[in-house]
Amino acid sequence: MAELHDLTALEQGDAVRRGEVSAAELVEHHLARADRVGAFITRTPELAIDRARALSTLSRPDDNASPLHGVPTAIKDLNLTAGVRTTFGSAAYVDFVPEVSDAVTLAIEAAGLVSLGKTNTPEFGSPCYTEPDVAPPAVTPWDTSRMAGGSSGGAAAAVAAGLVPVAQGSDGGGSIRIPASCCGIVGLKPSRGRISGAPTYGDPVGLATPGPLARTVRDIAAFLDVLAGRGVGDPSWAPPPHSSFLAACDRDPGRLRVARFIAPVIADSPVDPSCVQAWEDASRLLESMGHEVEDVPVPLPPEAVPVFEICWAVLTALSAAPPGREGDLRPLTRWLSERGRAVTGPEFGLAIGEMRRLAAIALAALAPYDLVLTPTLAVPPLPVGALRNDDDPEADFEAQKVFTPWTSAWNVTGMPAISLPLHWTDDDLPVGVMLAARPAEEELLLAVSARIEEAAPWIHRKPPVW
């Protein structure tokens, strides 16, 4: 017999709506599951139970309610949550409790989901591994000696281990798709402007966006419906969907033109045979579904890499420690911040302009194609500590580029991109494959991803800690 955590997020929401289970029962069940994967920095059981009981005393959700009403979730520890410790993955903020919640947290609460706490993230979300000084490392449930990826590693580990059915992450260079690949789940980076960054707007460059992680494409779509929407003061926004993102999963995407490339974008790195195999298998699967797959050159030139690095370093420098707590920052953060502070204002402005020019060139080159196919990562999940190098932060940064040489391209262009768990190695490690679409075309991306999931399902796969 299936247990509650075996149900998808939509199935759990449907059970609440039909009165088969209460939000309180769902929350208590998920809270009872042990966190053996370093998923949380802060758990909030009392708050979660109180909120779930309050929801359970209300009448059943009506037809206008989110299909995820009453479903347990979690909020990344980069997102402000009023009254709840929010560390940003940094020892410099270990005791910080914000007085306000950001737009993402408020949207989750307004939809009737129940957060069980704050998920693990590296310091300020910068590295592509989740090994902060304020919590144990986040690990993949498929092999707990290996990393969950980052920076939404805690969110991905929580979903993959069945601690919550859906979780929110954020992605400035791959931080949703990297852990999705490492943990064998689905992760979507939405288009630039799809989800509001209010009230802090901490990324003036436009690389980062919140987004959903889940085990199925339909759960991803339902949670995107919760998160999506513009705020009054947002600097950019994507046009609203034609109906709902969940409804898009039932549409026929038609016959598509799919561009593909496998040459690394930001590093001259070898690609593991399992990642090549996953990419080739996905190509054949798309062709078997009637789509046209074509090889294309890498759309971003090598000169995009130093431009991206200037912007990334400045963004890290903007994540300042409170006065007197600078010594609590990790070596990588200090090194990147020093690089960022060495950039003058005009140099930063020119870098943003150059990045947008390069993005426009890439978008024009890819415009004839409906989708773009690459691997998500260059290798399967690595052992914990394999990338982190506190003695040599520059080597740490270069190792991260070799590990994830494709994902940041779509942060530069602002395109939506999704990692799908389509492959497992012989020793049962997950390997993701990434699809990107034109800006604001999440509906098409979700429609074809749902068809891929039907053709090559993965929901039956459960990690050892399940």
Q: What confidence score (pLDDT) does residue 61 get?
A: 79
Contact 372, 259 (CB under 8 A): yes
Domain residue limits, the chain: 10-455
One CATH from 3.40.50.720, 3.40.50.10860, 3.40.50.2000, 3.90.1300.10 for 10-455: 3.90.1300.10
- In one-letter notation, the amino acid at residue 188 is L
As a whole number of angstroms, the distance between CA 291 and CA 142 comes to 32
pLDDT at 62: 78
pLDDT, residue 57, reads: 84
Report residue 153 as tokens: 């590693």
pLDDT at 56: 84
> 278-331, pLDDT tens digit by residue?
999 999 999 999 999 999 999 999 999 999 999 999 999 998 899 999 999 999
Per the rule left: phi > 0, alpha: psi between -120 and 50, beta: everything else, 76 is beta
d(CA 182, CA 384): 12
d(CA 453, CA 378): 22
End-to-end CA distance of the chain: 15
Pairing of strands 292-295, 257-260: parallel
For 115, the 3-state DSSP assignment is strand
Tokens for 252, please give them. 């026929």
Residues designated as active site: 76, 151, 175
CB 162 within 8 A of CB 151: no
SS3 400: helix
Q: What's the confidence (pLDDT) of residue 1? A: 54
**Which of 260, 173, 258, 177 is closest to 220 using CA atoms?**
177
Q: Please tell me whether residue 194 adopts helix, strand or coil conformation.
A: coil
Low-confidence ranges of the chain (pLDDT < 50): none
Bridging pattern class, strands 209-214 and 186-189 = antiparallel
Q: Bridge-partner residues for 146, per DSSP?
A: 383
